[in-house]
Structure formats: structure tokens, C-alpha cells
Amino acid sequence: MISGTAIYVLWLREMKRFLRAKSRVVGSLAMPLFFLAFLGLGFNRMAIPGIKGDVDYIHFLVPGIVGMTMLFTSMFAGISVLWDREFGFLKEIMVAPVNRVSIVLGRIAGGTTTAVIQGLLILTISVIMGFKIAGIIPLSLSISLMFLISSTFIGLGLIFASRMRDIHGFSLIMNFVIFPLFFLSGALYPLNNLPVWLKYISYIDPLTYGVDGLRGVLIGDSLFSVVFDFILLISFSVVMVLLGAYFFEKSEYV
């Protein structure tokens, strides 16, 4: 039976780890800030094919960078599973009378919360750089999309972490997974600029719909309808969380 107490305790543990590791927060924000500063400001006055004339590049880029933050932070949340196994904490909670699904949900809750906090920090910094948010409703919808993106990729990260035992190997494989997902999502450029065959490949990337949905709610410019993006993201999220829970439950850590 799913334990709300176990979920809360694991969520609280992840939050304490996040708040105490200030270098981790700074490090996770460094790459998005570089993209915003060098690409957003550098190309802001240029006409980019595929972008509407009334949308400047930094407004086009910010939702993509928020999506990138969700992707990187969420996928690497899986590495905490390996660290916990390495130092014995995972063994302790696995032998406790707690449903493993509760353990997975607690980790996902903590990981999504920390990822969304970082996404909101990026949005705050982007506002200082000239990005404009239309109001509280677009902001609320963007937070919902951040949660869906994060839970999707935390689930995917858990799948890999449940099948691996080497921390360094996990990091290397994650890089091979993360960067194709990022570049295929249209975070940096319009998908319509891609060759047709590559565009179709991008349609199986969950981040594509996350970035597109963020653009739809934040700047009103999206390839698909926002409702369609939400439906697909919810589907991806449910599937990945269920698969992550399944592989975690089947893994042997004790």
C-alpha cells in the first residue's frame, strides 16, 4: 500500500539536500544562463527563419532553456539512486516496511520540486534580461508543464539508474541520451527548419511537446495546440513514472 508518510519523508530529504548544496544549484544554472546570455542576447536582433516577426529570439529561446533545465536536472536525479545505494541508504529504505512505489513517488516528488524551482529561477533571470510574462495564468500553466516535463524525465532517469550500478557509467550514458533529446526538441530553433525525416524523429521526443507547450502559454507561439501538448505530456509522464516504478521495484539493491 502506498504510504503518504514515506513519500513526504523522501520529498523532505530531497529538499534538504537541494537547499544545503548551494554549489549544486549554481552549477545547474550555469549552462542555461550561458545559453541565455550568449545565444539570447547575441541573436536577439537577427531575423531567424521560422520565427514570427513579432517574436524576438530571446522570447523564443527562454521556454527552450527552461525545458533544457527540466531535462538536465530531472535526468540526473537518477544518479542520487546510485549514490544512495553506494552509501547504504537505499538498502535501509528497501528493507523497511514501505511499498517501493512509495519510494519512487517520494523521489519523483522531490526531484520535480527541485527542478521546478530551478526552472522558476531561470524564468526570473530571463525577466531581468527582457523576457515578458503575460500574467499569472500563463505562469501557472508553465509551472504545470514544468512538473510534467520533470516527472517524465525523472521516470526515464530511474529506468536507467535501476539497471545500472556504476555512477560514472550512468553519467556517460545520460550524456548520450540527454543531448539528442535536447537538440531534437526545438529548444534552440524552430522545428520547421529541420529536414522532414529529422522533424518526424523529433515528434517522438517528449521534450518537444514540453518546449512547445511552454512557448504556447508564455509567448503564444507554438507548433501544436497547447491542449495537445498537455495531453501528450501527461501520457508520457504517466508511462515513464509507471515504467520507472516497475524497473525500480524489479531491481536488486539489497
Q: Let me know if 244 is exposed, middle or buried by CB neighbors in 10 A (0-12, 13-18, 19+).
A: buried
Average pLDDT over residues 125-148: 88
Q: Within a 10 A sphere around the Cβ of 139, how many other Cβ atoms?
A: 15
Using N-to-C axis directions, what is the helix angle for 136-163 and 167-184, rounded to 10°? Answer: 140
Name which of 73, 82, 25 is nearest 182 in CA terms: 73
Q: Which residues contact 219 (CB under 8 A, 6 or more apart)?
A: 55, 59, 60, 63
Residue type, 78: G
Mean pLDDT of 1-11: 70
For residue 122, pLDDT over 60 is answered with yes
Higher confidence at residue 6 or residue 217?
217
- The predicted structure's pLDDT at residue 254: 44
Q: Is the pLDDT of residue 248 over 70?
A: yes
Is the Cβ–Cβ distance between 195 and 173 less than 8 Å?
no
pLDDT tens readout for residues 14-71:
777 777 766 666 767 777 888 787 776 666 666 666 666 567 778 888 899 999 888 8
* Mean pLDDT to the nearest integer, 187-192: 85
pLDDT attached to residue 48: 62
User: Which range (27-36, 131-140, 145-154) has the least confidence?
Assistant: 27-36
Domain boundaries, the chain: 4-250
Mean pLDDT of the chain: 80
Question: Phi and psi (nearest 5°) for 220?
Answer: 70, 25
User: In this structure, are residues 184 and 205 in contact, taking their beta carbons and an 8 Å threshold?
Assistant: yes
SS3 content of the chain, % helix, strand, coil (to 5): 75, 0, 25
The string of DSSP codes covering 106-150 is HHHHHHHHHHHHHHHHHHHHHHHTT-----HHHHHHHHHHHHHHH
* CA quadruple 188, 194, 72, 155: dihedral sign: positive
Give pLDDT, residue 238: 92
Q: Residue 50: which region, alpha, beta or left (left: phi > 0; alpha: psi -120 to 50)?
A: left
Predicted pLDDT at 29: 75
Write down the pLDDT at residue 220. 84
* Whether the predicted pLDDT of 89 surpasses 80: no
Lowest mean pLDDT among 17-21, 129-133, 217-221: 17-21
Q: What is the pLDDT of residue 34?
A: 81
Lowest mean pLDDT across 78-87, 138-147, 237-246: 78-87
Q: Which of 39, 104, 119 is nearest to 72 (CA)?
A: 119
What average pLDDT does this structure show over 65-93?
73
Residue with the bigger pLDDT between 6 and 128: it is: 128
